[in-house]
């Protein structure tokens, strides 16, 4: 027992048995206790436990997929509220993973990220409502729900184009300036969306767009949070895969080199602007896909959903979780979203209940659910002061030189050296 | 169309001088620490609230009606400067000093955190104390001086511009003539060398924050007097614009911040008045914020050192 506790605390490794027990207990609790927030939190937390479990990768992956695809839908599936929270968490996880490419890998602080999200959301919303009839003649719109699927790609492309267009001028500045400029661009985009109801009515201005068609699959409407949960999971799977592939690709290593030292990277022959643009476009395109899902899920969008607050919120998720670290970002996004949409609300309700029963008297202005900014602020300061690398810092691959020397490729010479050998053999 | 021009220019000048004084705060901190104090706009906002609260409280106590408006104005200005100056120093001590050696990104994130924290704290306090967080400041200076038939110069605009100029002149004298001013310039040049010359770098940085923040807070009072209504979110956008002004003039350069501020205020005011007519109604005055940000982006792209700054070569 002592050994187990020591393992958990020092090596952060949890025995498989504990993880399974935890998951089973909380799943059963969620099944039997209706509306138990604690139990739901426990089930979500079990994913973190799985991450730290001391077992092979394959087993951990299977466990995680099992919890996400089978346990959660099975136990909480008929509860709209839980699925709503879960799909909301998913949407933010996906966005944070997109921003992770820009901030975490390439080190470009982007404070206008929500603009790309807006681009994706509006791309779908304009054509999935009657809005497009305002500027395209022929009464062709709204498009039906089966168009949702191709529009996932359209949203991706639109946002990527946006990313490149914004990136071209913006990326010539760096550091703090980049943060301010992207922030300004985010605001510009919001103002434009807010005012594009004249002279040609494209976005319907502050009134927003509704009703946006819900997705359909083979004529069957997918209109409950239950289905959106799976759509979001599918997209997250795709984005995580892309993140992992990017990280270890040539481009990904170029991003990390730029993040560490721009000047050194440039002198090693990395084209600065192209590489940064690629990061901007990749991050933006993921936000665009998520925007399409968001528009379809809410069936209503207006410019107030795309404020600076949202950009900062996503940034908080990335920084708090650990920028550049995929599990960290997922944890950060899940934590911040659950805090926002569930914990604060529950706490508010709890205080309300105390208020009405007369135990305490609290003025209405002290409602905790209104303190998003305060909590974000405190989280940002604390993260900067105490965990500048995040909750789960990004791991660096450490190359073991001895191991490399022993490997069967060690004798083989590459590049100029190989040519040298070749020419030596020819001359002798 | 041209008949409103004098009025537009007066409004633009008033706004511009406010940008200029707030921009001084950004420029001073940037000149010394090479770091954008994101929370400076919020310190301006706190100053506006403190000044307005002083006036509101003395109004409800019945003192304000008997006081000379100038005395009341000076009193609120002074208190706002003390509180916002102390706040600036406190923020530096808690959120920036521990991060001085850390990467710049981390300090920037902490600054954004401080700015959000302050917004909600002010909203929270006002909501508890007054049950609302939009405050209407009592007007001390009403009336206007007419110049022929062209324009009316409101007395409050004259007061705002006069005080802004007084503050800027005092700051320039302070930096150029006093011992502490010289120490500040030395630290801005090179921290480690300055510390070898028996300059206490920490103290100089604290002083910079104190002066910049109290100037920002004083501008908040001027803002409240000029526009009448304030809310906890005025600081962020105004701070961004003031930062734009600082960049326009050349960040780290005091004279540049002043010129940049006045220029930006005039441009914005002109854009607000004439964008509609110039583009034949396609873009209205709601695009004036877009205008300010576009200036920022253009300046950063075309002349990143600003109007008065020197181009900095990157050292390898």
CA distance A129 to chain B (A): 25
Count of C-beta atoms within a 10 Å radius of residue A122: 27
CA distance A288 to chain B (A): 23
Residue of A nearest to B38 (CA): A180
Q: What is the pLDDT of residue A11?
A: 66
Q: What is the pLDDT of residue A153?
A: 93
Q: What is the pLDDT of residue A51?
A: 85
Mutate which of B290, B298, B299, B302 to disrupt the A interface (most A C-beta within 10 Å)?
B290
Q: What is the pLDDT of residue A241?
A: 92
Residue of B nearest to A193 (CA): B287
Model ipTM value: 0.84
Question: Given an 8 Å threshold on Cβ–Cβ distance, is A384 in contact with B104?
Answer: no
Residue of A nearest to B243 (CA): A180
Question: Given an 8 Å threshold on Cβ–Cβ distance, is A381 in contact with B113?
Answer: yes
Residue carrying the six token digits 């909590």 = A375
Residue of B nearest to A370 (CA): B120
Nearest to B286 among A172, A191, A263 (CB): A191
- Going by C-alpha positions, the residue among A209, A192, A195 that lies closest to residue A296 is A209
What letter would DSSP give residue B144? E
Q: What is the pLDDT of residue A417?
A: 67
Question: Given an 8 Å threshold on Cβ–Cβ distance, is A263 in contact with B314?
Answer: yes
Question: Given an 8 Å threshold on Cβ–Cβ distance, is B113 in contact with A388?
Answer: no
Q: Residue B293 is encoded by which pair of tokens? A: 């940000």
Q: For residues B45 and B80, what is the distance between their CA atoms, to the nearest angstrom?
A: 10
Residues of B in contact with A315 (CB under 8 A): 109
**Quick one: A115 exposed, middle or buried, by C-beta within 10 A (0-12, 13-18, 19+)?**
buried
Q: For residues B79 and B47, what is the distance between their CA atoms, to the nearest angstrom?
A: 9
Q: What is the pLDDT of residue A271?
A: 92
Residue B305: φ, ψ to 5°: -85, -5
Count of C-beta atoms within a 10 Å radius of residue A413: 12
pLDDT tens for each residue of chain B, 316 residues long: 667 788 888 889 999 999 998 998 888 888 888 888 889 999 999 999 999 999 999 888 888 777 788 888 899 999 999 999 999 999 999 989 998 888 777 888 898 899 989 998 998 888 888 877 788 888 877 777 777 666 778 888 888 889 889 988 999 899 889 999 999 989 988 888 998 988 999 999 999 999 999 999 999 999 998 888 898 888 888 888 898 888 888 887 888 888 999 999 998 888 888 877 777 766 777 777 788 888 888 888 787 777 777 666 555 5
CA distance A189 to chain B (A): 9
CA torsion angle A193 A197 A203 A206 (round to 10) = 70
Q: Over the Cα atoms of chain B, what is R_g?
A: 20
Burial code (b: 16+ CB inside 10 Å, e: under 16) for A384-398 equals: bbeebebbbebeeee
pLDDT tens for each residue of chain A, 428 residues long: 666 666 666 666 778 888 888 888 888 887 777 667 778 888 888 888 888 888 888 888 888 888 888 888 877 777 778 888 888 899 999 999 999 999 989 988 888 899 999 999 999 998 888 877 777 777 777 777 788 889 999 999 999 999 998 888 888 877 778 888 888 888 888 888 888 877 778 888 888 887 888 888 887 878 788 888 899 999 999 999 999 999 889 999 999 999 888 889 999 999 999 999 999 999 999 999 999 999 999 888 988 888 888 888 898 889 888 888 888 999 999 988 888 777 777 777 787 788 777 777 666 666 777 777 888 888 889 888 888 888 888 877 777 778 777 777 777 766 666 666 666 666 65
Q: Residue A118 is encoded by which pair of tokens? A: 């807006």
Nearest to B102 among A263, A371, A388 (CB): A388
- Going by C-alpha positions, the residue among A77, A70, A278 that lies closest to residue A163 is A278
Measure the N-to-C terminal CA separation of chain A; round to a whole number of Å: 68
pLDDT tens-digit profile of A41-98?
888 888 888 888 888 888 888 888 888 888 888 777 777 788 888 888 999 999 999 9
B108 touches chain A (CB under 8 A): yes
Q: Residue A100 is encoded by which pair of tokens? A: 């992770």
Is the separation of the CB atoms in A216 and A144 below 8 Å? yes
Residue of B nearest to A374 (CA): B117
Residues of B in contact with A171 (CB under 8 A): none
**Residues pairing with B229 in the sheet:** B136
Residue carrying the six token digits 């002592």 = A2
Distances (CA, A) of B50 to A114, A117, A155, A274, B43: 34, 38, 47, 49, 10
């Amino acid at each position: 027992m002592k050994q187990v506790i020591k393992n958990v605390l020092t090596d952060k490794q949890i025995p498989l048995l504990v993880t399974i027990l935890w998951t089973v207990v909380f799943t059963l609790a969620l099944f039997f206790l209706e509306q138990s927030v604690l139990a739901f939190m426990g089930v979500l937390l079990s994913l973190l436990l799985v991450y730290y479990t001391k077992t092979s990768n394959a087993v951990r992956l299977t466990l995680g997929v099992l919890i996400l695809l089978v346990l959660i839908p099975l136990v909480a599936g008929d509860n709209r509220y839980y699925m709503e929270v879960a799909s909301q968490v998913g949407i933010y996880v996906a966005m944070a993973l997109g921003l992770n490419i820009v901030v975490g890998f390439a080190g470009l602080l982007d404070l206008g990220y929500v603009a790309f999200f807006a681009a994706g959301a509006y791309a779908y919303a304009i054509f999935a409502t009657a809005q497009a009839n305002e500027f395209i003649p022929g009464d062709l719109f709204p498009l039906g729900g089966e168009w949702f699927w191709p529009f996932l790609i359209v949203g991706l492309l639109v946002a990527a184009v946006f990313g490149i267009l914004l990136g071209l001028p913006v990326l010539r500045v760096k550091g703090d300036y980049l943060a301010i400029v992207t922030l300004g661009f985010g605001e510009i985009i919001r103002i434009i969306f807010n005012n594009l109801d004249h002279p040609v009515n494209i976005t319907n201005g502050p009134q927003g767009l509704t009703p946006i068609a819900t997705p359909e699959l083979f004529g069957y409407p997918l209109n409950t949070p239950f289905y959106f949960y799976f759509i979001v999971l599918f997209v997250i799977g795709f984005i995580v895969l892309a993140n992992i592939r990017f990280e270890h690709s040539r481009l990904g290593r170029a991003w990390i080199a730029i993040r560490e030292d721009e000047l050194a990277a440039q002198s090693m022959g990395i084209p600065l602007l192209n590489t940064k643009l690629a990061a901007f476009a990749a991050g933006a395109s993921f936000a665009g896909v998520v925007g399409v899902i968001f528009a379809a899920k809410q069936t209503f969008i207006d410019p107030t959903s795309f404020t600076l607050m949202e950009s900062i919120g996503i940034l908080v998720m990335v920084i708090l979780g650990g920028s550049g670290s995929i599990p960290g970002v997922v944890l950060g996004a899940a934590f911040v979203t659950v805090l926002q949409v569930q914990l604060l609300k529950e706490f508010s309700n709890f205080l309300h209940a105390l208020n009405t029963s007369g135990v305490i008297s609290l003025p209405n202005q002290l409602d905790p659910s209104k303190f998003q900014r305060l909590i974000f602020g405190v989280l940002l300061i604390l993260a900067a002061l105490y965990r500048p690398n995040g909750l789960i810092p990004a791991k660096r691959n450490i190359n073991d030189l001895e191991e490399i020397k022993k490997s069967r490729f060690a004798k083989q010479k590459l590049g100029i050296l190989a040519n040298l050998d070749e020419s030596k053999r020819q001359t002798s | 169309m041209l008949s409103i021009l004098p009025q537009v220019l007066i409004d633009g000048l008033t706004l511009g001088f406010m940008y200029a004084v707030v921009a001084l705060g950004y420029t001073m901190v940037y000149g010394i620490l090479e770091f954008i104090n994101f929370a400076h706009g919020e310190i301006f906002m706190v100053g506006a609230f403190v000044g307005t609260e002083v006036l509101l409280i003395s109004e409800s106590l019945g003192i304000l009606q008997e006081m000379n408006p100038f005395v009341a104005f000076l009193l609120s200005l002074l208190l706002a400067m003390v509180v916002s100056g102390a706040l600036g120093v406190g923020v530096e001590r808690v959120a920036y000093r521990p991060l001085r050696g850390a990467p710049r990104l981390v300090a920037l994130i902490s600054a954004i955190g401080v700015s959000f924290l302050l917004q909600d704290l002010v909203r929270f306090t006002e909501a508890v104390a007054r049950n609302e967080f939009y405050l209407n400041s009592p007007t001390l200076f009403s009336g206007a001086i007419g110049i022929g038939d062209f324009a009316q110069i409101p007395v409050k605009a004259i007061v705002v511009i006069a005080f802004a100029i007084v503050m800027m002149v005092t700051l320039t004298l302070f930096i150029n003539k006093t011992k502490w001013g010289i120490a500040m310039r030395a630290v801005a040049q090179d921290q480690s060398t300055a510390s070898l010359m028996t300059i206490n770098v920490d103290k100089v940085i604290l002083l910079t924050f104190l002066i910049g923040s109290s100037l920002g807070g004083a501008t908040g009072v001027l803002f409240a007097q000029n526009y009448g209504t304030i809310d906890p979110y005025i600081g962020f956008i105004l701070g961004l614009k003031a930062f734009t002004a600082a960049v326009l003039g050349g960040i780290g350069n005091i004279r540049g911040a002043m010129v940049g501020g006045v220029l930006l205020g005039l441009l914005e005011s002109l854009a607000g008045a004439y964008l509609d007519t110039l583009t034949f109604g396609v873009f209205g005055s709601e695009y004036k914020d877009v205008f300010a940000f576009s200036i920022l982006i253009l300046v950063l792209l075309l002349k990143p050192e600003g109007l008065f700054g020197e181009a900095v070569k990157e050292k390898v």
